Structure 1
Amino acid sequence: MRILTGKATQTIISEMPEISPVKTFTLTVNLRGFAACLDHDHVFGAGASKPLKDDTITIVVEARMYTGTGTVQKPAPASFFSSKLDNFVKRYTDMLKSEHFRSTTDFTLQSVDGTEFRVHRFQLMAHSPVFAAMLTHDSQEKQSGRCELADIDKETVEILVDYLYGGEAPNVTSSNAEKILSVADKYEMLDLSAHCVQILCDSVSVDNAVHLLILARQRNLTALTEAALAFIGGHMETVLHDAAMEEIGKLDLQAMQAIMKHCGKGK
């Protein structure tokens, strides 16, 4: 592009592999009010050829069209990024499980029976806002480098540690999911809580439907509430046995109304 002024011609060149013949375009631009944007001496100083006329300046543009046949970079397909992410997660998880990495732990969790579990502070902080607050404030646990879990047994702590380092909880079953859920909720481990709720939803039965409904109502677990109600509605005659009747008295009025509604659906 050449900007024609009375004093000099400035040429801006963009290198290209192949170019078409030069095409020249002339533009006339009104600069009224924009004179301050130009070099005053260059345009108005002594000896200048006064390129401005009626507050306009002429700009000559030489346009060259690219005619090369070079390749165009296309975005990588989503599967590429997905596989890269999967590989990264696997490498990261393998690293977390490695003996070398576990040897760098800087914090201790102690179960109610005195069993100690060595962990990393940043893993606790990454998975639990409660531990994050504990370890970023001037708490006793931060100073001592240990936390005594006075109400949590060894098996439960083992599951928490598996979750911290693998993002999974394979040892959560229908028999311990309620207990693990309580701990996960206490420390706000949301993924682990959701995993426990799903297991409980899948394990609703004649023997525990009313109990799980009460649990769901107490903890405001929508998915478990719906699962329990749906089961009760379809199995009313078998669910309402003598043992269950004792627990039904613990239900609130809305829960009882919901049971009656689902009973109608079950029929």
Structure 2
Amino acid sequence: MTRTVYLNGDYLPETEAKVSVFDRGFLMADGVYEVTSVLGGKLIDFAGHCARLQRSLDELAMTNPHTPDEWLAIHRELVARNGIDEGMVYLQVTRGNPGDRDFAFPPAGTPPTVVLFTQAKAGLADNPVAKTGWKVISIPDIRWGRRDIKTVQLLYPSMGKMMAKAAGVDDAWLVEDGCVTEGTSNNAYIVKGNRIITRALSNDILHGITRAAVLRFAREAQMEVEERNFTVDEAKQADEAFITSASAFVMPVVEIDGAAIGTGTPGNVATRLREIYLDEMRKAAV
């Protein structure tokens, strides 16, 4: 079945959607993106994704082509047209097509390129891997210094995913100055006792929408949250670990660099937070 995608105001079969070879997203990775999960045909934490999209656009001096209500209407229309019950909606905005390749930004008023498409992911919430947990390796973090902007320049995270695959594990944790920054496409956490430890927000990591919600739920559940750097050795000595992302939600991590974390099985904190997150997000879904 051919998907319906959204391109610059039109809903089109995916085979008919075309973007110029001069688009700056293609030539310069000059664009930002968001991914919103869908459960039960409804959007999860949509307001958070909309707010982060605005922040990313502002940081790159790009104009937001739509209001939050307009974005919501487009997302809902795509979900309906493609019959998505569980899955994701991918959104990308680039600085557009200036008509030729140039390092300088296009003239003011150049229309942005807006692309959205859906991905059906049956069993997204009931992923059996959540019962066994992820294994990760550590790799050097050599990305640029503005990881807080959700740009489309994802080459090194993709390389990290492939390093993990080659090592026979699920993902890689990025390490800078001896400390874990984040996963290739997720935020990273360790747990010691009742204390959740995760890197504080800065330009060094993505300001995860799922991260914000999970930490809020953790505090409401009387769990202690400590936002600070932690090392790989600390992770190896932790009681448990986990990651958060828009598509994995809360995913336990049971091994790093071949060393079991805690008992080597998903811990109680990660398991409980996944349950709370999915329950609360389903209630608030739009």
| TM-score, length of structure 2 as denominator length | 0.24
Higher helix proportion: 1
| TM-score, length of structure 1 as denominator length | 0.25
Higher relative contact order by CA 8 Å / sep ≥ 6: 1 or 2? 2
- From the CA coordinates, give the structure whose radius of gyration is larger: 1
